[in-house]
Amino acid sequence: MENSCGRRVVITGMGVVSAVGCDVATFWANLLAGRSGIGPITRFDAANCRCQVAGEVRDLDITKYLDAKEARRLDLFCHFAVAAGDQAVEQAGLLGANLDPSRIGVLVSSGVGGLQTVYDQSILLSERGFGRVSPLTVPMMIPDMAPGFLSIRYGFTGPNFAVVSACATGTHSIGEAGWIIRRGDADIMLAGGVENCTVPLGIGAFASMKALTSRNDEPTRASRPFDKDRDGFVPAEGGGVLVLEEYEHARARGATILGELAGYGLSGDAYHITAPDPEGTGAARSLRMALDRAGITPADVDYINAHGTSTPLNDQVETKALKLALGETVRRIPVSSTKSMTGHALGAAGALESIACLLAMRDGIVPPTINYETPDPDCDLDYVPNTARAVPVRHAVNMNLGFGGHNAALVFRRLD
C-alpha cells in the first residue's frame, strides 16, 4: 500500500496451522487437491450437540516449538500463534539478521481468545471454589496474549496489540499492520489471526444460534459454500501469520518478496448484531475502498477468496455485495471459498485465506470450492466448483465479514 511518502508494504514470510495442514506446503497441496480437513469433533463428546463436526487441527506437534512447561502456560490459540509465527519468521529470515527490534511489531489477533481456558476455569470455580482458579487464567484467556507472547519470544519491541472483530479479525489485523508500516511506525510487522473455538461453550453457543451445520453424517461434505443445500458453517480452528515489511527495507536486506499488500478497505453495516446487511452495501463499500487504495479497477481483479461461510444468508448477501462492488465484471472472476475445506476458523479465517491468495498468485492456480453440487439461483457466480483451476493471478482479493457488521477486504498484488 502506498502513501504520500511512497512507503509500500510487501509480504516476506508466511506460516500456517490449519485443519488441512500445519505448514504452508501441506496446506496449499491439500487445498489444490480439494481435500477436506473436516471430521467428527474429538476434543469433547459432542453426541448431544446439533453440530458434531469441525475443522480441528490434528497434526500439530507443539513440542517442535515449545517445551512442555511453556505449552501448559498457554491456551491452544497461542500454540497456533507460536507455530505459525515461527514458520513465518523463519521464512522471512528475521532472527539473527541484525535488525532493529524496536522497528518490528506484532499484530496477531483472535476473535475469542482463550475460550478453552475460560470454559475450564469456570467449571473449576463452580465446582471447587475461588481458591482453585488458576493464577494463569487471565494471561491464558486474553486475546492479546498472542501478540504479547510472540513479541517476548522474538524480542520485537515495536507496536504490539490485537484487534477483535469476530470473523473479520484476521483481515483487519493484516490491514491495520499494513497501515502501521505505511505511516512509518514500524518497518516490519507480524500480522494475522489465530483461533481455538472447538470448545463445548463455543460449539454449543453457535449451535444454539442455528449458525452451524447439522450434516453430521457426512463431515467432509458438510461445508458447502454457495451450494443450494448449505445449512450452516463448520466451526474450525488454526492460525495464519504473515510477515509484512516495507518494500525498500525488504529489498535492502535481500528478502524474498512473496507479494504486495496493495489495498485495504473496511466498513460497518450498522444493521444487526449477527446478520449482514441484506443488500450487501457495507461489504461492497469495503471492497471498493480496497480497490481504490490499490489503484485498480474491477477489471484488474483476477481472483477472489470469498468469506463463503456456507450459511444460507451470508453466501447470498456476499454474492450480492460482489455484484454491487464489481458490476458485471464479477461474472468473469473466479470466486472460491477455501472454508469448504478448512471450515470457518473465525478470527483466523482472513489470515489463512490471505495466504491462499498469495499462493494463488505465486503458482497461477486458484483453489476450488468443494461440495458445490446444486446451484443456487441467488448465488450465480463462478465459484470454481470442486476442482482447482489454472488462472494467471496478478491481483487477488480476500474479503471477510464479522458478527457486529464488521467488513474488511484486502487486495494483494504479484510483483514480477
> Which residues carry out catalysis?
167, 307, 344
pTM value > 0.95: yes
In the chain, where the domains are located: 9-252, 263-413
pLDDT(27) > 80: yes
SS3 132: helix
Parallel, antiparallel or unpaired: strands 335-336 and 303-305 = parallel
* pLDDT per position as a tens digit, 187-208: 999 999 999 999 999 999 999 9
**Is the dihedral angle over the CA atoms 244, 249, 255, 257 positive or is it negative?**
positive
Residue 384, amino acid: V
Residue 75: the pLDDT is 97
Could you give the angle at the alpha carbon of 185 between the alpha carbons of 297 and 81, nearest 5°?
80
* pLDDT per position as a tens digit, 224-278: 999 999 999 999 999 999 999 999 999 999 999 999 999 999 999 999 999 999 9
Residue 6: pLDDT band with limits 50, 70, 90 = confident
* pLDDT per position as a tens digit, 70-111: 999 999 999 999 999 999 999 999 998 899 999 999 999 999
CA distance 395 to 391: 11
Query: What is the CATH superfamily name and number for domain 9-252?
Result: Thiolase/Chalcone synthase (3.40.47.10)
Residue 4: the pLDDT is 39
% helix, strand, coil for the chain, step of 5: 40, 20, 40
CATH number of 263-413: 3.40.47.10
Residue 416: pLDDT band with limits 50, 70, 90 = confident
Asked whether the beta carbons of 119 and 201 are under 8 A apart, the reply is yes
Q: Which helix (H) or strand (E) holds 130?
A: none
Residue 119: pLDDT band with limits 50, 70, 90 = very high
SS3 102: helix
pLDDT(3) > 70: no
